[in-house]
Structure 1
Amino acid sequence: MNRAVGGRPRPTPSPPNGAAGAIPPPAAPEPPAMDIRIFDSEDEIAREGAKYIAAAARQAIAARGVALLAFSGGGTPVPMFRALAREALAWHAVHVFQVDERMVPAGDPDRNFAHLNEALLAHVPLPAAHIHPMPVEDQDIEAAARHYEAELAGLTGSTGALDLVQLGIGADGHTASLVPGDAVLEAADRAVAVTGPYQGHRRMTLTFPALNAARARLWLVAGAGKEDALRRLERGEHAIPAGRITRRDSLVLADRAAAGDRL
């Protein structure tokens, strides 16, 4: 009891919500810290990334008899693809999907699959039926996206979980082909969707639900101009698409050019 002027007791105020002695609800748990490792060069990132993917694939094969991997495009992962081709894996048990692809003709240098095939797939004994390129040349691209989603679901089952997705990040904070302002960012019930135009092309992409359902995520971040995006990724800022990817079971490999003065 608190004492008021005049000596008369003043009742102690009740706790919020009027429940005497009520215990406030626990605070929301902090998201896990992001595991970010900085290397001197892109070559080191390539080697470490290949080792990480190979280890994840071996673990998946040991646990479930198959490894389901999805790779992004761009120039950054190409050296890693070459390093991964040198890893001793049970390739007959591996399936390779794409994270995203531009809607351009086969053989076009802008096709992500062309780089993936040249640097990795052409050099490993992967069964042809285990290679899953995005069908971006189909006339009905929306139907093609649904077909790819069904193809993915046929292997991931009810969990929808790929074993590993490899991601990158752009200076604008995009990842996969999930770019700021695109309606596909709000696709909550699709694993695969088609974007609007971005840098001259529409794209097919895995969505947030598919990327967040994966058992592991490997980020490769290299080159100048990525410092701010990397910092915002680390903080989990939902204002950028990359910040909406779960931190759970995620590893970021970055070079010093991308890390900037954060070291």
Structure 2
Amino acid sequence: MSLERQVEAQPDGVTRACADLIADRLGRALVARGTATLALSGGSTPKPLYRMLATYDLQWRAVHVVQVDERVAPADHPDRNWVAIEEGLVGVTGAVGHPMPTTREGAAAGSAGDWDVLVASYADELRQLGRLDVVHLGLGDDGHTASLVPGDPVLDLTGSDAPSVAMTEPYQGRRRMTLTAPTINAAATIVWQVVGGGKAHAVAQLLAEDPSIPGSLIRQARDVHLVMDEAAGGRS
């Protein structure tokens, strides 16, 4: 994997650097095509990023915001990544939101066939949008990214015929919908946002392209950036 590394002293510097990169690439797409597509990951780390992106002077109403992954949970549940994305960015800017359809009352609800229909519907949304301009990713201390988690069958969906979206098995108590590795790898730009000393070992594995971690599946985009703080980079 060829990527640009950027190390900032503190997490807020990582947030700013990621926002600058994302806004720049979205701006280029808007100039070239009049529209742009941004895929956002969830979790606690990127919440300040959503709010910071909302301050950039972009044609947000022409930007489509999709999700990298989402937990199966009720619509307004704080476990859902979309809640923070809507509050911090989409609802503020008027960007076009595309939340993943995972608002069932729990991971056990619905049959496998029902989930297949919902996965297919989101895959169709992505197909209509075309190539993703920017995919924002995080990295777990177990080496997972998106909801590509250790041991899950979704990790095997790597071929040219792989679906763009899939459902995982339960992870940390919830099933998830996630973009698959080929979909992420096909993006024009990938921006990793990683903070905290607990991620240092996973970062080292990622840089070594260690096949034992799911993050190593992300490797093919031409414009890849790993933005981390000194702690995540192994510097105390």
Q: How far, CA to CA, are the matches of 1:118 and 1:80 in structure 2?
A: 12
Partner SS for 2:51: helix
Choose which of 37, 61, 76 in structure 1 pairs with 2:6.
Answer: 37
Counterpart of 1:147? Answer: 121
Q: Is the 8 A contact 2:69 2:176 kept in 1?
A: yes
> Residue 174 of structure 1 contacts residue 180 of structure 1 at CA under 8 Å; is this kept in 2?
yes
Q: Secondary structure of 1:201's partner?
A: coil
- Using the TM superposition, give the Cα deviation of residue 94 of structure 1 relative to its aligned residue in structure 2, in angstroms: 0.5
Could you say what secondary structure the match of 2:65 adopts? strand
Structure number with greater Rg is 1
86, 89, 92: which one aligns with 1:123: 92
CA distance, structure 1, for counterparts of residue 28 and residue 40 of structure 2: 18
* 1:230 correspondence with 2:203: yes
Q: CA-atom RMSD, angstroms? A: 1.3
Alpha-carbon distance in structure 2 between the residues aligned to 1:70 and 1:106: 19
Distance 2:122 2:49 in 1: 25
TM-score where L is the length of structure 2: 0.91
Sequence identity of aligned pairs in percent?
Answer: 45
Offset, 1:224 = 2.1
The corresponding residue for 1:201 is: 174
4+ runs of 1 displaced by more than 4 Å?
Answer: none
**Is the Cα contact below 8 Å between 2:141 and 2:201 reproduced in 1?**
yes
The reply on whether 1:87 has 2:56 as its aligned counterpart is yes
Q: How does 1:161-200 map to 2 (within 5 A)?
A: 161-187=131-157, 188=159, 189-200=162-173
The aligned length equals 224
* Aligned twin of 1:13: none
Aligned to 2:47: 78
The unaligned stretches of length 5 or more in structure 2 are: 105-109
Q: Is 2:109 the partner of 1:135?
A: no
* Alignment match, 1:103: 72
Deviations for 1:58-96, whole angstroms, at most 9, x for unmatched residues? 111111221011000001111111110000001121000
C-alpha contact (below 8 Å) 2:37/2:132 kept by paired residues? yes
Give the secondary-structure state (helix, strand or coil) at the position aligned to 2:198. Answer: coil
Letter in 2 for 1:89: L
Q: How big is each residue's C-alpha offset from its partner over 1:119-151, in whole Å with a ceiling of 9 and x where there is no partner?
A: 11121132xxx2100001264222101100011
- Relative contact order, higher structure (CA 8 A, sep 6+): 2
Tell me by how many angstroms 1:203 deviates: 0.1
Aligned to 1:257: 231
> In the TM superposition, what is the alpha-carbon distance from 1:53 to its structure 2 partner?
0.8
Taking the aligned partners of 1:108 and 1:211, their CA distance within structure 2 comes to 26
